[in-house]
Amino acid sequence: MLDDAAEAVLRANWREGTRRDGTPFAFTCPSPRRYKHQWFWDSCFHAIAWTHIDRERAKEELRTLVRAGRPDGFMPHTAFWQASPRWRRAPLYATESFRGDTGTASIQTPLLAVAWERVAEGDDAFREEGLEPLAAYARWLIRERDPDGDGLLTILLPDESGLDDSPKYDAVYGSMAHWKPGYARLVQRCRRARWSAATLARTTDEHVEDVLINVAHALSLRALHRMSGGAEWAEHAARTEAALVERCWDERRGLFFDLAGRGETRVELSTWSSLAPLALPGIPRDIRERVANEHLLNPRRYGARFGVPSVSMEEPSFRPGFNAYRTWRGAAWVNTAWLLIGGLRSLGADDEADRIARGVADAAERSGFREYYHPRTGAGHGEHGFGWSTLLLDLPAGFSPTVGVNPSRTS
Ligand code: GLC
């Protein structure tokens, strides 16, 4: 039943055609009403969900993402294939200029190689096809977004991590937070600096070496290494993983924290991104076990009945209900569970992983494929027919992002 409903959502959100300049596109929009464009990490999740239904569509979705990119390797946070954003929403899109852009100048959580590897399972031609654009994208990120060369990527806008209004950004961005009017000033400042992270990291304090972004980066580098055999990717991944441990791990609290501004100040707030390194096999096992046992599975913190809350239930800023202008402040998203379940499975905690997967499925049974869910009641909030909630299809398969392919399927 849920499988059929998930397929119906993906089919209803499928968009294909040709852009005004003749470039063909085919992708899944996150939701038909509110999110009509192509979002970067949404498409990565959609492609993984499509592998359970129609692998050709999964391939087209990822090819379209690559086509939205530039020759220098950059790929945008949002691509506008069918129409430009309407004037009312235009200031919210981080474009180069105001009119005529085909995509943003900002990035989003770099999970593309993870998705590519999944879609290319057993398909060498598609794997080969990805190697060049994936390598160019990884090089762009390392060249442009690691201005201090410490192995950790930097985000300029809070929504570059996909966690737009997370309370972890409140103090860092202040009046320029994503949900405040000043956000338009932040975008304007990035435009003036021509989106140069080197310039902005040197002259301003509103930028973050973000844990989730770097987990996604390391996962993708590992996937690229497995796909290409290129030793440089394993070396880059190991560097990023080591930097996460050396610079972001808080031994006392047992969590990973972002580093913000020129002072690289730790942002000591417990959000699901503080747990995300659990998905990286290169992180020492004792650290991953602490994250799982003290936080993810702790009923006072993240161990909720319906999915994994995006903010610890113990944090004063935890707000799991609906707010039209603020997301990622406590509600449970399906992708959150997806990433962390993989980490749990790699620790052998399959029962716990299954329990979380069941909770997510229960929420979808009750409320349909909504954008996010109340972690205590399972009530659905935000958009209806939300694309990446169909990642649910991937939870029982036991896919682990830490090893690429589910070991039971290859044995
Ligand atoms: C919201 C989410 C972001 C997502 C986008 C499209 O802005 O915060 O993560 O990519 O919607 O679904």
- Of 223, 283, 231, 278, nearest to 403 by C-alpha is 223
Mean pLDDT on 325-351 = 95
For ligand 1, atom 3: residue with the closest CA? 162
Angle between helices 350-367 and 334-346 (to 10 degrees): 160
- N- to C-terminal Cα distance for the chain? 29
Q: Does a structural domain hold residue 14?
A: no
For the CA of 77, the closest atom of ligand 1 is: 10
pLDDT band at 90 (very low <50, low <70, confident <90, very high): low
Band (pLDDT 50/70/90 cuts) for residue 93 is confident
Residues for the chain: how many in total? 411
Identify the pLDDT of residue 96: 77
Please tell me the predicted confidence (pLDDT) of residue 409. Answer: 38
pLDDT tens per residue, range 28-77? 999 999 999 999 999 999 999 999 999 999 999 999 999 999 999 999 99
Phi/psi zone of residue 404: left (φ > 0), alpha (ψ -120 to 50 degrees), beta?
left
Name the DSSP letter for residue 161. G
Q: Is 375 helix (H, G, I), strand (E, B) or coil?
A: coil
Which residue has a Cα nearest atom 9 of ligand 1? 162
Least confident of 90-99, 244-253, 303-312: 90-99
The two most distant CA atoms of the chain are separated, in Å, by 56
Asked if residue 188 lies in contact with residue 85, where contact means CB atoms within 8 angstroms, the answer is no
How far away, in angstroms, is 231 Cα from ligand 1 center? 33
Angle at CA 96, nearest 5°, toward 94 and 102?
Answer: 85
Ligand 1 atom with the smallest distance to the CA of 41 is 10
Tell whether 252 is covered by a domain. yes
Mean pLDDT of 166-192: 96
Q: Which of 287, 277, 312, 299 is nearest to 356 (CA)?
A: 299
Phi, psi of 279 (to 5 degrees): -80, -5
Pocket test for ligand 1, best of 35, 89, 389 (most atoms within 8 A of CB): 35
Q: For residue 262, how many other CB atoms are within 10 A of its CB?
A: 12
CATH code of the domain covering residue 112: 1.50.10.10
pTM beyond cutoff 0.75: yes
Q: Which of 355, 360, 399, 375 is nearest to 310 (CA)?
A: 375
Residue 94 lies in a domain: no
Q: Is residue 46 part of a domain?
A: no
Q: With contact defined as beta carbons under 8 Å apart, do 341 and 353 qualify?
A: yes
Q: At what angle do helices 2-12 and 40-50 cross, to 10 degrees?
A: 130
Predicted pLDDT of residue 407:
39
Name the more confident of 140 and 403: 140
- Residue 387 Cβ contacting ligand 1 at under 6 Å: no
pLDDT at 320 over 70: yes
List C-alpha distances in Å: 165 to 95, 239, 400: 19, 29, 28
Which of 164, 166, 156 lies closest to 187, judged by CA?
A: 156
- Note whether residue 37 is domain-resident: no
Structure token pair of residue 245: 């441990």
Q: Which comes out higher in pLDDT, residue 133 or 397?
A: 133
Range of the domain at 372: 107-394
Q: How far is the CA of 252 from the CAs of 9, 255, 268, 295, 304, in angstroms?
A: 43, 8, 11, 13, 24
- Please identify, by atom number, the ligand 1 atom nearest to the C-alpha of residue 327: 8
Tokens 């690229």, located at residue = 224
Residue 17 lies in a domain: no
Name which of 339, 249, 179, 240 is nearest 169 in CA terms.
179
Q: Is the CB of 327 under 6 A from ligand 1?
A: yes
Q: State the total domains in the chain.
A: 1
> pLDDT tens, 235-261?
999 999 999 999 999 999 999 999 999
- The three-point CA angle 202-206-211 to 5° equals 100
Distance, CA of 142 to CA of 246 (rounded, Å):
19
Which residue has the least CA distance to atom 12 on ligand 1? 30
Instruction: Tell me, yes or no, whether 16 lies in a domain.
Output: no
Closest-lying ligand 1 atom to the alpha carbon of residue 383: 12
Q: Examine residue 375 and state whether it is found in any structural domain, yes or no.
A: yes
Residue 39 CB–ligand 1 contact under 6 Å: yes
State whether the beta carbon of 109 lies less than 6 angstroms from ligand 1. no
